[in-house]
Structure 1
Amino acid sequence: MDLHLSNSDYSQSGLSHKEESLVPSSVFREYDIRGLANSEITNEFALSLGVALGELALSQDHQMFFVGRDARLSSPSLTVALCSGLKAAGCHVINLGEVTTPIVNFAIEHDPICKSGVMVTASHNPATYNGFKIIFDGKVISGQQLQQLESALRSNNFSPEASAPQITKGFISQYCQHIVSNSSIDRSFKIVIDAGNSVAGPIAVDLFKRLGCAVVPLYCDIDGSFPNHEPNPSVEKNLQDLIAKVASTGSDLGFAYDGDGDRLVVISGNGTIIWPDKLIMIFARDLLAKTPGGDIVFDIKSSMRLKELVIECGGLPTVCKTGHSHIRKAVRDQNALLGGEFSGHIFFNDRWGGFDDGLYAGMRLLEILCQQHNGRIKTLDEIVCEFKTSSYSPEILIPIPDEKKFLLMDSLQTNCVFVGGKIIRLDGMRVEYAGGWGLIRASNTTPNLTLRFEADDDIQLAAIKTRFRRELNPFIDQLEDYI
C-alpha cells in the first residue's frame, strides 16, 4: 500500500492558520525532508510532522512506526517531538534509539507487524542540518508524496487524540548477528573504519569485529558536531585521513561511512579511492556470474564502464535519476539483483532486503575478496585493475542557493545545445559524446549544482570540459574556478 494523500482532503486553505516559518517549503526535498536545525527543522515542526504522519497512517490502517535517530546534536529533541506527535495522533511508537538508517529498514523488514518508520537524520550534510527519512509500508516517501505531505502538514486539520504507547527496542545486536550468520568470510582482514564521528562508527566496529576483522577505528566515537570532517565520503578531502591511516597501519582496506550509515566509499590497500560506481562493477560482475541475465540499476552519475560491464556479463543495465529513493524503487519494481549510485548508496536484493546499507556492502566486498582464483586470492587493487580504465573527474560542486538552482537548471535546459553531443535529460543534462560524457544537474540534498565528467583518455576529458565551459559560461559566474 502506498501513502495516498488527497489534495482535496488536505488543501492549502490552512496556510492562513499556520505560518510559513513553521513549514518552510525549502525543507521538502526530492526524497526526504532536510534543512537547517533549530531554524527550519524545529521541534515544533517535528511535532506537527508526527501528528500529520500519524493521522494519515491511521486513515490507512497503519498504527505503528519505528523511529530511529542519528548522532547529530539536534536529533534527540527532534525525536522526542516527532514521537510525541505520532503518539498524539494515536500511533504506537517503537523507539530504536541511536541507530543507522539501514537498521530502521532492517527492523521494518523483520518485524511481522510494523512496516513503517522514520529516521531523524540529515545523512551526509553538515552538523547544522537535520531532517527526516520516511518509510511507509516498506516504501520510501519521496517526490510528489512528500509534496502532498507538505500540503497535509499546512492544512491544520488534525485533531490529536490521547497519547498512544511508546516502547524502546534494540535492534543493533540482532542486525549484526543476522549479517554475520549469513556471511561467508573465511579469512581475517585488517580494516580502518572512518565514520566521521557519526552513528555508524560503533556499530561498524562491532560488526566487523564479529566478522573476524582486525579493526582500526578512526573517528568512530560519536560526536554530533562532527569535529574532524563532515561524514560525507563522496568528498575527496574527507578521505585523506583514512588514506593516511590505511598506509600507516598497513591495513588491507579502509571503509568510509556517512552520517547515517547507508553509504560506503572504500580505500584499497595501496591508498586508492575506489569510488562507488567501481564497487558496483565488482558486485555486479560477481552477482551476474551466479545469476546471468539479472537486472542491475545505477544512477545517471555512474561511469560508462559500469553499463559496458553489465552488458558484457550478460546483465540488463537500467539507468535511473540520482537519489536513493529512485534507485530503491527501480530495484524493487524490476526485482533487480543490485542497485547503486555514485554517492555510495548500494542496494543488494539477492540475500538482502533491497535497501541501501553501507555496512552490509562492506561485508559483501570482504566475501568477494575471500574468493580464490586459480588457487590464489586477489587483492582489491588487482580486481580493480581488471576493469577497463577511463579518465574521470570527481563530483564537482558549484554553490547555488536552493531557491535558485532549479531555475538555473531550467535556463540551462532551454539555452544550452551542446552541438555534437547526445543530451539525456533524465536528471539534469548528461551529454554523451563518442569518447565520453559530461553531466550537470541540481543537487536534491545540498545548495549546489553538481557536475561530473568521464572520457576514454585525458585528452578527450579535457575536450568535453572545454565544451561544457563554452556552453555554461554565460550562465554561471567564475565557472573557471570549478572546471
Structure 2
Amino acid sequence: MAQIDAVFKAYDIRGTVPDQLDAELCRSIGAAFARFATEGRDRPRVLVGRDMRPSGVELSAAFAEGVRSQGVDVVDLGLCSTDMLYFASGREDAPAAVFTASHNPARYNGIKMCLAGARPVGEETGLREIKAMAAEGVAPTGPSGVAHELDVLADFARHVHSFVDVGALKPLKVVADTANGMGGLVVPAVFEGLPFDLEILYPELDGTFPNHPADPIQPENQADLRARVLETGADIGLAFDGDADRVFLVDERAELLSGSLTTAIVAAGILAKQPGATVIHNLICSKAVPEVIREGGGTPVRSRVGHSFIKALMADTGAVFGGEHSGHYYFRDNYRAD
C-alpha cells in the first residue's frame, strides 16, 4: 500500500500519485470512510466527485469500490468543484468525498471529505479514525452497494443565484481566470443569465495546468488576469484555484484585493441586510475586518485557521458568514461551506 502516513493531513488527504497515493490505498480509504460516515444511517450512501486531474478517474473509482464493499450506495457526481460537492452533501444530507489536490501541481491528488450536511471532516472530526481503519483494513460486509449518477451543476447555479437579487445586479465587464481548473465548468453555469459581460481565461479543464499553476494567491499566477483586466477595461477580475473553492479579486486598476478585504466587503454587504449578525474571521485576517464588521452593526468572532474550525464556530454561534485571508468564504446558507 502507498504511504498512508504521508497523505493524511490536518484537514484532508493529499499526496503524489502513485508513490504516496494509489488506487489500493484509495479503495481502503473509501471502505473506512463509508464505515465511519454512514454508521447508523438508513439507506446509507456516499457522494463521490472528482476534479479534472487525470489520476482522478482511477482513484475515485477505487474509492467508490471501497464504499460499495461496505454495502453503501455510491452517488457519482462526476466532474465537480469542491463547493458543488458541499452543496450536494448539504442538499442530499449525505456524506461526500471529492478527489482534488486544489492548487497543488499535476502530480498530486487528494481527497476532501465531509459528513452528511456538509459537516467538516478534519483530524479532530474523523480523519484520525478513518486513517486507523484504512491502515488496519475494513472487511467487506454483505451485498455490495449500488452506484448511480447525479448531475448537480444546474441546481448549484440556481442555488448561488438565490443569494442575490438578480434583478438588482448592474451590468459589469468581468474577466475570470479559471487556470484550467474546475472553475471552467462552474463559472459559465453560475454566470449564465446574469447581466455580466464575461470573459474566461483558460477555461479548458486540464489537470496538467499548461498555462500557469492554479494557485491564485501567488502574484505570478495573477499576471495574465491583471493584464487582461487592463486590456479590456474590465470592472473586476476573478482568479480561481484548481477546485474552485477559493477566489481572489482584482479591481478595475488590476490591483489585488486581499482575502481580508474581500471578507470585509462581503461582510458589510450581508450586514446591510442582516444587521446584528455574527461574522467569523480567522486570526490572520487584517485588523480592519473586525472593525468593518462592528461598524456594520455585526458581531465579529475570531477563529483558528482552517475550514473545520471556522465551520464548527459558525454552527456554534449561528454566524451568517465566515472569511479567511486565504480566499475561502463560508456561507450559512450554503451549509456553512464555500
TM-score between both structures, scaled by the size of structure 1: 0.66
CA distance in 2, matches of 1:328, 1:264: 18
Q: Residues 23 and 154 of structure 1 are in contact (CA less than 8 Å); yes or no, is this contact kept in structure 2?
A: no
Q: Residues 121 and 130 of structure 1 are in contact (CA less than 8 Å); yes or no, is this contact kept in structure 2?
A: yes
In the alignment, which residue of structure 2 is the partner of 1:227? 210
Q: Deviations over 1:309-338 (max 9, x none)?
A: 222333222221211222122112211021
Higher relative contact order (CA 8 A, sep 6+): 2
CA distance in 2, matches of 1:291, 1:324: 23
Secondary structure at 1:84 match in 2? helix
Describe how 1:265-304 pairs up with structure 2 within 5 A.
265-304=248-287
Q: Deviations over 1:89-113 (max 9, x none)?
A: 11101101001111111112222xx
In the alignment, which residue of structure 2 is the partner of 1:355? 337
**Paired amino acid for 1:127:** A
Is 2:141 the counterpart of 1:167?
no
Summarize the Cα distance change of 1:299–1:353 in structure 2 as closer, same or farther, 3 Å threshold: same
Q: CA deviation at 1:187?
A: 2.3
Secondary structure at 1:210 match in 2? coil
CA distance in 1, matches of 2:158, 2:252: 27
Q: Deviations over 1:168-187 (max 9, x none)?
A: 11110111123335532332
Is 2:40 the counterpart of 1:60?
yes
Summarize the Cα distance change of 1:23–1:54 in structure 2 as closer, same or farther, 3 Å threshold: farther
Q: CA deviation at 1:23?
A: 4.5
Is 2:190 the counterpart of 1:211?
no
Is 2:14 the counterpart of 1:31?
no
Describe how 1:29-428 pairs up with structure 2 within 5 A.
29-61=9-41, 63-111=44-92, 114-138=93-117, 139-144=119-124, 145-185=126-166, 186-349=169-332, 351-356=333-338
How many residue pairs get matched? 333
Q: Residues 104 and 214 of structure 2 are in contact (CA less than 8 Å); yes or no, is this contact kept in structure 1?
A: yes
Q: Residues 51 and 160 of structure 1 are in contact (CA less than 8 Å); yes or no, is this contact kept in structure 2?
A: no
Q: CA deviation at 1:43?
A: 0.7
Q: Residues 154 and 189 of structure 2 are in contact (CA less than 8 Å); yes or no, is this contact kept in structure 1?
A: no
CA distance in 1, matches of 2:198, 2:221: 20
CA distance in 2, matches of 1:325, 1:289: 27
CA distance in 2, matches of 1:58, 1:108: 13
- Structure 2 stretches lacking a partner, 5+ long: none
Q: Residues 122 and 129 of structure 1 are in contact (CA less than 8 Å); yes or no, is this contact kept in structure 2?
A: yes
Secondary structure at 2:192 match in 1? helix
Q: CA deviation at 1:160?
A: 4.1
Worse-matched range after superposition: 286-295 or 196-205: 286-295
**Max radius of gyration: which structure?**
1
Secondary structure at 2:10 match in 1? coil
Summarize the Cα distance change of 1:155–1:278 in structure 2 as closer, same or farther, 3 Å threshold: same
TM-score between both structures, scaled by the size of structure 2: 0.94
In the alignment, which residue of structure 2 is the partner of 1:403? none
Measured on the aligned residues, the alpha-carbon RMSD in Å equals: 1.6
Identity %: 31
In the alignment, which residue of structure 2 is the partner of 1:14? none
- Structure 1 stretches lacking a partner, 5+ long: 1-20, 357-483
